[in-house]
Structure 1
């Protein structure tokens, strides 16, 4: 890896000022370059979680074990559907290479014992030796994952793929697909600013060199990192990730939508990415976030339920991150736009959508229907 050099935003390509609105209608009429083309709901972003969807090995749903998450195969499989972005997790190895991997640790087996190694304590060559190998005839070390009940399970999926770097993703993933880059840090570790700065500069160096005109959104649960990456560049929007009050952390900035708004406003960030349960518990927060000129995206298991996604569209949420890429993207395209609307043009469709306004009382009533709709959806064959 080349020696890291300090830089400022002036060293970056001459791009437009960071704003989610730069991308919100980019794909509103579908995209070319071998991707599915169809009319889309303007200003409602569709984002594939970890590419084609996350892996849950103990799930009875085969879709959660179909394709290795956070892989080039997963990203390019997602690109076949009408998505705007894919979301993935980036960490930096000991020798300063940004790699794509969700978990803080690598789990593998040696002499019959499962051990763990932190991704950030591995050099790139060590990191890449786990899982399937690109070289023909070369066998990688077996990957494991820890289940919620504490058991270790081999990371077996229907279609496996090698681990990859951020640079490889820029070079080898369908160029029209936007990247929602989650800057991954340990939830319970205190980071010094100089360390955060170094990590973020390593990542930005790759982004500035290889992004070209690909849409980029940065997001992170680490509030200091969110504000710092905003200071280091102003080409790409930065969003603060939050559980929206569904979990409690020592750092109070992570414990509510209200605190998330403060983080964004203090750091001049562009928006919030919240666990959808937090938004459904506090629907009034949506209008507050909008009045603060912040965008709002959501993630979580409920985003795999079409009724919950449509509810968010009605609420004025800007986009959703979900696992069931084929089902949700096609539902939005095929079912959330009436056929006659789909052919009257984006301007008229935008006018029609702008009329879908609800009072807090009406939204509260609609939100009460969500649990019933979700249960009904689960019971369907």
Structure 2
């Protein structure tokens, strides 16, 4: 089964008996996606099929003539099993007068669609006959669904940007992307462009992503909260790494409990956290563990004071979970601080590297989890934060397996700085929402190479294109552009914010006043001003039980789709689901 589109309204569809008995005799017309006045149609998730994304950005086409020509780009999947390449190629004027797809039979499957990070073009749609013109600083994402990725090649055609009066465009050249070119889950390839005279005329640089379905876990249609957010969930308090960062030179925000531990998460919960935010990555034996940094420090010899040069720096991914628990492992920042100020806490809850499963099983189920997936990013200078990481599909699947198995009724949101991770989290499952983490326009950190990460506006375009819940913005930028919150929410997205600036009571109040859906900050014990120190989800559960005992319809505190009515408001919309704005709405039949 391949789910391309499906109705995702909270209210279930009810079909009359007449429709079920004889659709030809029913007096009313049932419109796909329209259970309530606001249409709710969403993309599906990967069940048996895979998705390949081909991303073109940073001026990917280099033509070797002195004058660069304006051009249009079209990508056509070619099924190698059907041997469609045996048809003769046309040259000269003949090839420029016809769409190259006619040489490939015009099959409906695989399906290739295009999304452009420009207003009005973020939804994936079928390409025009001669593709779409590539403009300076454009970001193209070609997305193809297929059952057998190893049998599909891709023909990239370049046409003149000028369309003649008869509706045709001059064919400039083409190149092929073969399955063997896509060896890894992600990568960048450079291919020669062949002109109509069969001579090389330039080169094309393509950034690709291969997303495969999970094999051990299967999602169903019973419930989906991938783009669900109640209107009452506004201004929520989120504990950063639990009780806060414990390795910072800012003493006023430095937590006295080791960050990203069960003890730290519990302290944030005790002081009123609605969500707790923590970082997830895998050990060498593929165990999802809670830890922030890509590297750890191992002491070369036992000392009361461990300095930076006493630590052997090792990538966390190179150590098995049992080794992380047995070795004398330190946070790299501890060596820079010259102090092991948390070393004397020997309780089990205070030990580093707790597993994701342990957190799922031991922490209050009425507190939400904001799970940040750690993954290496490429900087603009070409370097990576971490080299030779895991195979990405396996990496994500191992994390999702634990979450889907042990989540129970807990509210869970995924987040990541890497757009491809956000895409994969959205495509691999339909149950939990995803937020795109962004630092926006700031000089505080080196910029990433991927242009989708570089501005707030690009973060919105990407979030809408990927059909995820919203964005998680660096507050240092957000405080300078507070109008961004309403701007994002008007597009059907929610806004979280993070950053050191949030560790301030007045700043938290201000961010809530401008409409932020959630504020992530350190030291929940110091800066949370809630009178009632419990999560909003616990309060809702208590109210639901009271309503149930009083004879009213119960509101479940779990993931049952019946827990909310279709008339509930969400950002001013007539339902609990966040929808694409009208201009971006999918047209389906």
Calculate the TM-score normalised by the size of structure 1.
0.72
How far apart are 1:56 and its partner, in Å? 2.6
CA change 1:106–1:175 in 2 (3 A) is same
Q: Alignment partner for residue 318 of structure 1, among 509, 517, 522?
A: 517
**Would the aligned equivalents of 2:463 and 2:471 in 1 still touch at CA under 8 Å?**
yes
How far apart are 1:194 and its partner, in Å? 9.1
The secondary structure found in structure 1 opposite 2:254 is helix
Query: Is 2:396 the partner of 1:200?
Result: yes
Aligned to 1:169: 359
Q: Alignment partner for residue 449 of structure 2, among 250, 273, 277?
A: 250
Aligned to 1:180: 370
Return the alpha-carbon distance in structure 2 between the equivalents of residues 208 and 181 of structure 1.
Answer: 13
CA change 1:186–1:154 in 2 (3 A) is farther
CA change 1:166–1:13 in 2 (3 A) is farther
How far apart are 1:156 and its partner, in Å? 2.3
CA change 1:106–1:154 in 2 (3 A) is farther
How far apart are 1:286 and its partner, in Å? 2.0
Return the alpha-carbon distance in structure 1 between the equivalents of residues 511 and 470 of structure 2.
Answer: 16
How far apart are 1:307 and its partner, in Å? 1.4
Q: Deviations over 1:106-162 (max 9, x none)?
A: 1121147311111112111112224xxxxxxxxxx1514237xx9363442275611
CA change 1:98–1:193 in 2 (3 A) is closer
Return the alpha-carbon distance in structure 1 between the equivalents of residues 216 and 459 of structure 2.
Answer: 26
Q: Alignment partner for residue 156 of structure 1, among 337, 341, 364?
A: 341
CA change 1:19–1:151 in 2 (3 A) is same
Q: Deviations over 1:28-74 (max 9, x none)?
A: xxxxxxxxxxxxxx52211000011111353333x514111100111
Q: Alignment partner for residue 232 of structure 1, among 420, 428, 431?
A: 428
How far apart are 1:13 and its partner, in Å? 9.0
Q: Alignment partner for residue 321 of structure 2, among 124, 127, 147?
A: 124
Deviates more, 1:182-191 or 1:203-212: 182-191
Q: Alignment partner for residue 44 of structure 1, among 232, 235, 238?
A: 235
CA change 1:238–1:215 in 2 (3 A) is same
Gaps of 5+ in 1: 26-41, 131-140, 335-349, 355-381
Alignment RMSD (CA, Å)? 3.0
CA change 1:283–1:58 in 2 (3 A) is closer
Q: Deviations over 1:167-226 (max 9, x none)?
A: 111111122111100001123339999922211110000001100001100000011001
Return the alpha-carbon distance in structure 2 between the equivalents of residues 311 and 333 of structure 1.
Answer: 20
CA change 1:154–1:194 in 2 (3 A) is closer
Query: Is 2:106 the partner of 1:106?
Result: no
Relative to its length, the structure with more strand (as a share) is 2
CA change 1:74–1:166 in 2 (3 A) is same
**Would the aligned equivalents of 2:214 and 2:428 in 1 still touch at CA under 8 Å?**
no
Calculate the TM-score normalised by the size of structure 2.
0.48
Aligned to 2:286: 96
Query: Is 2:333 the partner of 1:146?
Result: yes
**Would the aligned equivalents of 1:108 and 1:143 in 2 still touch at CA under 8 Å?**
yes
Return the alpha-carbon distance in structure 1 between the equivalents of residues 217 and 490 of structure 2.
Answer: 28
**Would the aligned equivalents of 1:51 and 1:78 in 2 still touch at CA under 8 Å?**
yes
Q: Alignment partner for residue 246 of structure 2, among 29, 39, 55?
A: 55
How far apart are 1:96 and its partner, in Å? 1.1
Aligned to 2:223: 15
Gaps of 5+ in 2: 1-212, 303-309, 379-383, 534-567, 573-589
Return the alpha-carbon distance in structure 2 between the equivalents of residues 91 and 46 of structure 1.
Answer: 24
**Would the aligned equivalents of 2:283 and 2:318 in 1 still touch at CA under 8 Å?**
yes
Aligned to 2:482: 283
Q: Alignment partner for residue 64 of structure 1, among 249, 254, 261?
A: 254
Return the alpha-carbon distance in structure 1 between the equivalents of residues 453 and 497 of structure 2.
Answer: 15
How far apart are 1:294 and its partner, in Å? 0.5
Return the alpha-carbon distance in structure 1 between the equivalents of residues 234 and 456 of structure 2.
Answer: 22
